[in-house]
Structure 1
Amino acid sequence: MNRAFSPFVKSLFVALLAVSGVASAAEAHAPAAKVDPAKGATLYGDGDSARGLPACVSCHGAAGNSTIAANPKLAGLPEAYVYKQLVDFTEPSRNQPVMTTYAKMLSDEEKKNIAAYLSTQTQKPGAAKNKDTVELGKKIYRGGIAEKSVPACASCHGASGGGMPARYPRVGGQHQDYTIAQLNGFKAKTRKNSAEMATIASRLSDDEIKAVADYVAGLK
């Protein structure tokens, strides 16, 4: 049997490949969707009932200022950092029953929109509560613990706890309970999305963790 293509079939095959190549090139160079904080604000405040997605505001408060000590304040966190955490919640490195469920319901574009919205909000200040440990917390935050090879928290999170975009979050003004929970999570390796923090937290005692968490709550 003659398996040779006829001139017509060959021409058609070449044409199809050319069209496919043009389409692929167009997709590769298509502009990425523009980040839209306004859409992020709507999703944050209203959720999406059609998908069973609750409003973020119900747990994290108006404009990202949570009033629930176990839930973090998100207002003013760096856009790139919030986006990274939403992605991390969909992976084993940061599995958390509630947030993992909701993060998986969000598209990549929606994650970016919510992150953009939160980064423009202003965090309401917190306050240190334990006057007996605030000096210990201050000492660790500003100078670390040399004998335990614990670096100063300020070296990454800034003197005022403002953090550095993408890599290090704002910790100043954060709820004590939430900060304690995260440091304990790093220490127990149940939160696995920062090897650096896991190492540092493992060197801190429970009292030192509480002292640091209380001190940073009062940073502005």
Structure 2
Amino acid sequence: MKNVAIALTLLVGLVGGANAKGDAEAGKAKSTTCMACHGAVGNKTLLNTYPKLAGQHADYIVKQLKEFKSGVRKDPTMAGMVATLTEQDMMDLAAFYESQTATYGTTPENVVEVARKLYLGGDMERNIASCISCHGPRGNGSGLAKFPKISSQNAEYIAAQLKKFRSGERANDPSGMMVDTAKKLTDAEIDALSKYLGGLH
């Protein structure tokens, strides 16, 4: 059933994507209010609990912005930031950030054993899907399927999101895939996976 849900998500992404595209130059001009938390090009963050946006798939960014605006994804700060954005604004911002290059991170040696096993193979005994099945071998995800690029992402941000998925505080994932996976992860596994992604590039 899980494979069917993933296939449907991919199909919707392939046939249902908008033809309209964002303008990266226009997005750069509109990004000034984003810089305080995400940096000039989406790499430098005020706190590592904010995500890097550089190199992120435009379709994924647009989806998140729309869901912050609608309230499907709840965050008081982002709700205020997106309140006046039009869909074109969102597409322009997404095009700008997608056109940037993410800075590489590193992976601490002490998390590799635990994290690599989960990332590559999941845990069949606990019915945990592998991360690679949606996010790919290098964590690059898929723009069409709206699976985010997670390589080189801030570990603190990834950990916070996994815990939000686990608790149900965040539930805007396709077919509940992340909620289903995260609720089976321990704090130690979340910590290891979050740190592992920094050097996955």
Distance 1:127 1:117, change over 3 A: same
Counterpart-to-counterpart distance in 2, 1:208 and 1:102: 32
Contact 2:71 2:79 in 1 (8 A): no
Alignment RMSD, CA only? 1.4
Distance 1:34 1:71, change over 3 A: closer
Contact 2:161 2:170 in 1 (8 A): yes
**Cα distance, 1:61 vs structure 2:** 1.2
* 1:118 aligns with one of 88, 91, 97: 97
Counterpart-to-counterpart distance in 2, 1:93 and 1:189: 12
Larger Rg: 1
Q: Where does residue 193 of structure 1 map in the other structure?
A: 172
Distance 1:33 1:200, change over 3 A: closer
Q: Where does residue 109 of structure 1 map in the other structure?
A: 88
**Cα distance, 1:34 vs structure 2:** 5.7
**Cα distance, 1:165 vs structure 2:** 0.5
Q: Where does residue 191 of structure 2 map in the other structure?
A: 210
Q: Where does residue 29 of structure 2 map in the other structure?
A: 42
Counterpart-to-counterpart distance in 2, 1:198 and 1:76: 25
Distance 1:34 1:181, change over 3 A: closer
Aligned partner of 2:191: which letter?
A: K
* 2:40 aligns with one of 62, 65, 77: 62
Residues matched between the structures, number: 179
Q: Where does residue 12 of structure 1 map in the other structure?
A: none
1:73-131 Cα offsets, whole Å, 9 max, x none, are 001111101000000101232110100111112111101100011111100001123x2
Counterpart-to-counterpart distance in 1, 2:160 and 2:21: 35
Contact 1:66 1:74 in 2 (8 A): no
SS of 2:41 mapped into structure 1: helix
Distance 1:113 1:61, change over 3 A: same
**Cα distance, 1:33 vs structure 2:** 6.9
**Cα distance, 1:135 vs structure 2:** 1.2
Counterpart-to-counterpart distance in 1, 2:142 and 2:24: 20
Contact 2:21 2:91 in 1 (8 A): no
Counterpart-to-counterpart distance in 2, 1:144 and 1:100: 34
TM-score (norm 2): 0.85
TM-score (norm 1): 0.78
